[in-house]
Chain A
């Protein structure tokens, strides 16, 4: 066996750093299907997993990849897949199965510009709303947005930890620029990496109710083959996991799978503030666009405009309180994202008309230049 954690200083792409983060988090199963700009994650996993006791498989399509990831996770192994827009669309039904059956797993979307085949080799952030509710039905999901190779290394670990803790698929909404950018990545000692694994059941196997939540709102999860003889279904089910086709049971189940997320927002939602303390104007951004935004903050301040940045690390569930708070303390909000207004809608919703909200975005294919952000701020002030 080779070490799973490559402690040391490296120069690597975001895609490779994502794969290394997964291995450091304990991921030992990857099912994938090649797609630009996410292919390098699969390639790196195919090379690394068998040497650390894991398994890689290239499936026949992304539907199969997502299904295989759920099957592997139900067998007790931390599992991941990675894709881009077209594959993300194909994964949606089984992401919903993961939500409904509360199966931990991590799905990476290295976003490229869509719709359809779009711009395969050029980045965008156009799948953010699809990440929120791309599968049918009402549910909660967790989505993170990395801004650099170093960032995606840690966020992938966080993604696994959150997914294991809350038994929910966690989406990593990367993009082509972060995926293909090579930067310095420092990987710490294994002992400095905190990993979390799902709680397993204890006690009498014949009395175990696989969907009966503990005090934290999350049920312990039995691995296939552990003797609990669980039944797991994507039909609406009760605490035994048995289908019950009533509105009441459905309300209860949806309350359970949304409640475990909604009641733990403080633990799940991560944001970073940059020069916000005395800011008159705030930018809300995430992923690669938060880097453009950070540069814009510095530029604007050089010109005497007090701008700050709220960087969303967790995009879903949305940082409602942080944005609402900002809307009470600044004169204007600017959302910077590579689409024509997705997270921007959420910012507007949370600002509740207290301050003007502006979008700095475009359809995709390039990052947003800091000067454009500064100009937009000047134009609107």
Chain B
């Protein structure tokens, strides 16, 4: 015991609010793995972590901000991105990461994410996609596959889900990737790239929610991981239009987009501010 106290037991301990552990995540939940990959990327990024901020919305995934030993803001459901936008614009030297869930970012917050992508505001957005609303007990989401069972689609989901990479790309995101929690090394590397990317960077992380989604769709945590292993195909540079999420047909993973376009702040400074010489 004493020894464990004297030296941090894990390299990421410095980045975790260890006094807040145990966390709320269920056994078999994928959020923790996505979170660790994010912290590992931060740890090795070389960024000034005092100037790095994590913003979350509401949901199981949104609890990430509360476990991170960074300046961390746990906001309202769906509003992490506009909150982060204000923060980044007000203090551009901050490195701002948004870590939240699929419901938070694409249903209630869907309007904000498309506009943030359009502006190419310099944020790193990690979306844990567990195909449902985990926190509220497994209701249908904008990402739930057609015919999947949830507590509010007891006979199956009649709607079609979003293709998240395609959506953010069409809106203007300049870095777009998708991984699963089984692909931690790729994911960690992708987060690092996204952190150093100038502009709006988006990473979708597929993660099991055994409690909310798995249980009702006869998927045990291991079954989900098996799907991640057997029914995925890494295809860097793939057209996001190919990224429709359908495990029956196979799911494309990889870095789909990495482009350069002036950021929101660069464009504002260039367009709206007086050149220094004209100021007076």
Closest beta carbon of chain A to B64's beta carbon, Å: 11
Cβ of B90 and Cβ of A67 under 8 Å apart? Answer: no
Cβ of A69 and Cβ of B86 under 8 Å apart? Answer: yes
Cβ of A232 and Cβ of B86 under 8 Å apart? Answer: no
Chain B residues whose C-beta falls within 8 Å of the C-beta of A232 in the assembled complex: 72-74
Interface flag for A227 (CB, 8 Å):
yes
A79 to B279, CA, bound (A): 23
Closest A residue to B67 by beta carbon equals A231
Cβ of A55 and Cβ of B268 under 8 Å apart? Answer: yes
Closest beta carbon of chain B to A209's beta carbon, Å: 13
Cβ of B112 and Cβ of A60 under 8 Å apart? Answer: yes
Interface flag for A356 (CB, 8 Å):
no
Cβ of B53 and Cβ of A225 under 8 Å apart? Answer: yes
Closest B residue to A243 by beta carbon equals B66
Given A68-B82, A243-B66; 8 other pairs, CB 8 A cutoff: A1-B274, A1-B279, A55-B90, A59-B85, A75-B87, A94-B76, A225-B53, A229-B72
- CB contacts between A and B, total, < 8 Å: 149
Cβ of B86 and Cβ of A68 under 8 Å apart? Answer: yes
Interface flag for B272 (CB, 8 Å):
yes
Q: Chain A 217-238 against B: per-residue CB contact (8 Å), 1 yes, 0 no?
A: 0000011111111111111000
Chain A residues whose C-beta falls within 8 Å of the C-beta of B280 in the assembled complex: 1-2
Given A67-B83, A230-B71, CB of A75 within 8 Å of CB of B90: yes
Decide if the interface of chain A is mainly helix, strand, loop or mixed: mixed
Cβ of B279 and Cβ of A51 under 8 Å apart? Answer: yes
Chain B residues whose C-beta falls within 8 Å of the C-beta of A97 in the assembled complex: 75-76, 79
Chain A residues whose C-beta falls within 8 Å of the C-beta of B53 in the assembled complex: 224-225
Cβ of B115 and Cβ of A59 under 8 Å apart? Answer: yes
Interface flag for B160 (CB, 8 Å):
no
Cβ of B17 and Cβ of A231 under 8 Å apart? Answer: yes
Closest beta carbon of chain B to A150's beta carbon, Å: 28
Interface flag for B93 (CB, 8 Å):
yes
Chain B residues whose C-beta falls within 8 Å of the C-beta of A65 in the assembled complex: 82
Closest beta carbon of chain A to B171's beta carbon, Å: 11
Closest B residue to A51 by beta carbon equals B274
Given A2-B279, A59-B115, A224-B53, CB of A71 within 8 Å of CB of B86: yes
Interface flag for A88 (CB, 8 Å):
no
A67 to B75, CA, bound (A): 8
Chain A residues whose C-beta falls within 8 Å of the C-beta of B83 in the assembled complex: 67-68, 70-71
A67 to B280, CA, bound (A): 33
Interface flag for B273 (CB, 8 Å):
yes
Interface flag for B38 (CB, 8 Å):
no
Contact of A225 among B91, B111, B268, B279 (CB under 8 A): B91
Q: How many residues of A contact B (CB 8 A)?
A: 48
Closest A residue to B265 by beta carbon equals A55
Interface flag for A320 (CB, 8 Å):
no
Given A55-B268, A227-B50, CB of A77 within 8 Å of CB of B90: yes
Q: Chain A 339-363 against B: per-residue CB contact (8 Å), 1 yes, 0 no?
A: 0000000000000000000000000
Cβ of B73 and Cβ of A71 under 8 Å apart? Answer: yes
Chain A residues whose C-beta falls within 8 Å of the C-beta of B89 in the assembled complex: 29, 55, 57, 68, 72
Closest A residue to B24 by beta carbon equals A243
Interface flag for A143 (CB, 8 Å):
no
Cβ of A234 and Cβ of B50 under 8 Å apart? Answer: no
Closest A residue to B114 by beta carbon equals A60
Given A29-B90, A68-B89, CB of A63 within 8 Å of CB of B82: yes
A61 to B221, CA, bound (A): 39
Closest beta carbon of chain B to A81's beta carbon, Å: 10
List 24 interface pairs A-B (beta carbons < 8 Å), by A numbering.
A2-B279, A46-B272, A50-B272, A55-B89, A57-B86, A59-B82, A60-B82, A60-B112, A60-B115, A63-B79, A63-B82, A67-B75, A68-B89, A72-B91, A75-B86, A75-B87, A75-B91, A77-B91, A224-B87, A225-B91, A227-B50, A229-B69, A229-B71, A233-B65
Chain A residues whose C-beta falls within 8 Å of the C-beta of B91 in the assembled complex: 72, 75-77, 223-225
Contact of A75 among B69, B74, B79, B94 (CB under 8 A): B94
Closest B residue to A205 by beta carbon equals B50
Interface flag for A242 (CB, 8 Å):
yes
Contact of B111 among A61, A69, A231 (CB under 8 A): A61
A243 to B94, CA, bound (A): 25
A319 to B184, CA, bound (A): 59
Given A2-B279, A71-B90, A229-B71, CB of A234 within 8 Å of CB of B76: yes
Chain B residues whose C-beta falls within 8 Å of the C-beta of A233 in the assembled complex: 65-66, 73-74
Interface flag for A31 (CB, 8 Å):
yes
Cβ of B85 and Cβ of A57 under 8 Å apart? Answer: yes
Interface flag for A74 (CB, 8 Å):
yes
Interface flag for A295 (CB, 8 Å):
no
Chain B residues whose C-beta falls within 8 Å of the C-beta of A51 in the assembled complex: 273-274, 279
A11 to B79, CA, bound (A): 39
Interface flag for A93 (CB, 8 Å):
yes
Contact of A70 among B69, B74, B86 (CB under 8 A): B86
Closest A residue to B272 by beta carbon equals A50
Closest beta carbon of chain B to A19's beta carbon, Å: 16
